[in-house]
Amino acid sequence: MRARSHGGLPVSPKMHDDEIDVGPALVRGLLERQLPDLAHRPLVRVASQGTVNAIYRLGTDLVLRLPLTPRWHDIDREACWLASLAPRLPVRLPEVVAVGEPDDRYPWRWGVFRWLDGSPWCLDEVADPVAAAERLADLVGVLRMIEPRSLPCGKPVRRPPLATMDAQVRAAVAGARHLIDGDRFLAAWDDALAAPDFDGRPPLSHGDLLAGNVLVHEERLHAVIDWAGVCRADPAREVMAAWTLFAGESRAAFRRRLDVDDGAWRRARGWALTRIFGVAYYEKTNPVFSSDARRTIAEVLADD
């Protein structure tokens, strides 16, 4: 698993009120107490677009991921999804090497993963964006065909429909008008809410197909990381990748490959607009994530 190396992104203050410090001394101590065979390796913190984990590279072939808050993590379930899905999907997935335990100095379980070469998604760094779009669409299509009950990972979370977030979205827009065109945003949001509801059984979804979770290596889509958010959801939720990752012909290719009808496309635009939650919230503490969220919103609004 890989994030961009330290120096590619700025170091920011804490992102969350309940975030703890996860410094090198703490991490080195965890290794010495729990995984002494790995404790001698070089340890370097990696700057990441992510918002909920501290990332450390360990030697040349491993990476550590340690939660920063008590929310948004279940390493055991994620490890099960990774082991179960990796043989079925057309891109690389992270491989769990070990799971660390909480102790009196760190409160949560944490993971050691195999390092994946690559950098966070940037469309300009992809040699064939249409082929990449089709490959990611194939991943989404395979997920949709998988029956979670056939896997040993338990029942995935079921995400509620888009309309349940209406009040939160409008509140987030009110707090971000200095960064986005709030009126245009709300017009696009209202159109997404007016689209026909999905009335089928929600398929399995990655749930977070953002630039920081899709790696490019040697000008090709190489891997999809961060499977902590595996869920059942409106299939339009995954289609938000049309705006988080793609543009122009690659966006059109992604839609064609998944055969997205007009109603689902409108809902997918709404799912992409839910990135509003990261615009003002991370403006100061994770400006790269905030900027990427604004870029996604601009892509949606330009696609009217």
188 and 230 belong to one structural domain:
yes
56 and 87 belong to one structural domain:
yes
H/E/C letters for each residue in 165-182? HHHHHHHHHHCCCCCCCH
- Tens-place pLDDT, residues 242-252: 999 999 999 99
Q: What is the pTM of this model?
A: 0.92
- Of 117, 146, 179, which residue is a domain's last? 117
Contacts for 168-173: CB closer than 8 Å, 24+ residues apart: 168/277, 169/273, 169/274, 169/276, 169/277, 172/276, 172/277, 172/279, 172/280, 172/281, 173/276
Q: What is the pLDDT of residue 12?
A: 52
CA distances to 44, 85, 104, 118, 121 from 5, in Å: 9, 27, 30, 10, 14
The amino acid at 176: A
Distance in angstroms (rounded) separating the CA atoms of residues 39 and 27? 9
Distance in angstroms (rounded) separating the CA atoms of residues 145 and 205? 10
Q: Is the pLDDT of residue 253 over 90?
A: yes
- Of 93, 117, 141, which residue is a domain's last? 117
177 and 266 belong to one structural domain:
yes
For the record, the structure tokens of 167 come out as 């009040």
Residue 135 lies in a domain: yes
65 and 128 belong to one structural domain:
no
Distance in angstroms (rounded) separating the CA atoms of residues 221 and 21? 33
Q: What is the mean pLDDT of residues 10-33?
A: 86
- Tens-place pLDDT, residues 129-183: 999 999 999 999 999 999 999 999 999 999 999 999 999 999 999 999 999 999 9
158 and 298 belong to one structural domain:
yes
Residue 8 lies in a domain: no
- Residue 252: give the domain boundaries: 123-302
Distance in angstroms (rounded) separating the CA atoms of residues 227 and 257? 23
Residue 274 lies in a domain: yes
287 and 259 belong to one structural domain:
yes
Q: What is the pLDDT of residue 49?
A: 78
87 and 192 belong to one structural domain:
no
Nearest to 143 by CA among 228, 80, 202, 217: 202
DSSP at 163: G
Say which CATH number the domain at 225 has: 3.90.1200.10
- Of 63, 93, 117, which residue is a domain's last? 117
For the record, the structure tokens of 262 come out as 């007009």
48 and 100 belong to one structural domain:
yes
Number of domains in the chain: 2
For residues 267 and 192, the answer to whether their CB atoms sit within 8 Å is yes
